[in-house]
Amino acid sequence: MSKVLVTGGSGFLGSRVVEELKSCGSFEAVHTFRSSEYDLRQLDAVKQLFQDKPADTLVHLAAVVGGIGANMQRPGEFFYDNLVMGVHLVEQARLFGVKKCVVIGTICSYPKFTPVPFKEDEIWNGYPEETNAPYGLAKKMLMVQLDAYRRQYNFNGIRLLMVNLYGPGDNFDLNSSHVIPAMLRKFHEAKEAGQDVVTLWGDGSPSREFLYVDDAARAIRLATQRYNKPAPVNVGSGMEITMRQLANQIKRVVAFEGEIVWDTSKPNGQPRRCLDVSRAREEFGFSANMTFPMGLQLTYDWFKQNYAAIEAREKLTQGVAART
């Protein structure tokens, strides 16, 4: 039994991780907090956090994340915030006597032309795809930190390299969303408005892998309970789908009857993405349960049910931004 502190516990993945850790019954307490209470970019706030919420285990999910567009618009923020939050947290976790630290990394840390399926041993063999390199490299530096701390301080930090996620509760704001919620929203709004065409970024050739958010939360819980080795572990579903196939599948789910146009003036991002997921299976018994068609349908159902609330929240945020 241990006390767990989860950063980013209000987020898309973090809220599921908190739920999963609480419901498994293996932990004495599971704490989380909002960035308005403790801004992890501030060292004093991180120290205060560990004083206020002592923990044996830290699960670090807090991050600034988004799709290609957000990564291109705010590369400085994606680099600085993600790097500094992680560096402060891991250092203070060590100083406050945390016994185990689980850091959630990203597939964006892999080199641009990693051979498919990506094996963990390839992680250092090249520079990431340029549009998401600041984010991917900031997160990759935390791998260096954990490795260094294990060697010098015998600090038990583990690293999970997470593939692109999707599911109910995802971010559907087109200014910052990842590809699945962005496509679902574009097709849905085009259908509702009676439009004939949906325009998507790139040429449709890149491939991606997706993991349902509840599977990702279960993987994090299993690794927290069972895995203590220094080697990073891929967490994914092992599927690979091209953007063109994905667009056609989403078009069917939404029942949009118009055409898809590819805007080739926009970047494709990384050419291919698909993880070798054998280490997670062998080391802590994780494999994905959700089928992709079912996961997409559940995500779309959630989006439709929450469309009015999503729009209302966006209007409120735009209003606040305009006033400040």
Q: Which is nearer to ligand NAP, 59 or 253 (CB)?
A: 59
- By CB under 6 A, tell whether 39 contacts ligand NAP: yes
The nearest distance, CB 295 to ligand NAP, in angstroms, is 13
Whose Cβ is closer to ligand NAP: residue 143's or residue 162's? 162
Alpha carbon distances (Å) from 240 to 106, 158, 246, 291, 292: 16, 26, 10, 13, 11
Residue 109 near ligand NAP by CB under 6 A: no
Which residues are part of the catalytic machinery? 135
Beta carbon of residue 7, minimum distance to ligand NAP (angstroms, whole number):
6
Q: Could you tell me which residues are beta bridge partners of residue 60?
A: 7, 103
Contact between 86 and 60 under an 8 Å Cβ cutoff? The reply is yes
- Is residue 110 close enough to count as binding ligand NAP by CB under 6 A? no
Q: Does position 11 bind ligand NAP by CB under 6 A? A: yes
Residues in the chain, how many? Answer: 324
8 A C-beta contact, residue 203 and residue 215: no
Per-residue DSSP letter, 115: P
Minimum separation from the CB atom of position 213 to ligand NAP (A):
8
Task: Return the residue of 30, 59, 65, 102 that touches ligand NAP, per CB under 6 A.
Answer: 65
Indicate the SS3 state at residue 275: strand
For the record, the structure tokens of 242 come out as 């091209």
* Residue 264, CB-side half-sphere exposure with 13 Å CA sphere: 2
Mask for 12-31, x = binds ligand NAP (CB under 6 A) = xxx-----------------
Q: What is the DSSP code (8-state) at residue 202?
A: S
Which parts of 151-180 interact with ligand NAP (CB under 6 A)? 162, 164-165, 178
Q: For binding to ligand NAP (CB under 6 A), which residues are involved?
A: 7-8, 10-14, 34-35, 39-41, 61-65, 85, 104, 106, 162, 164-165, 178
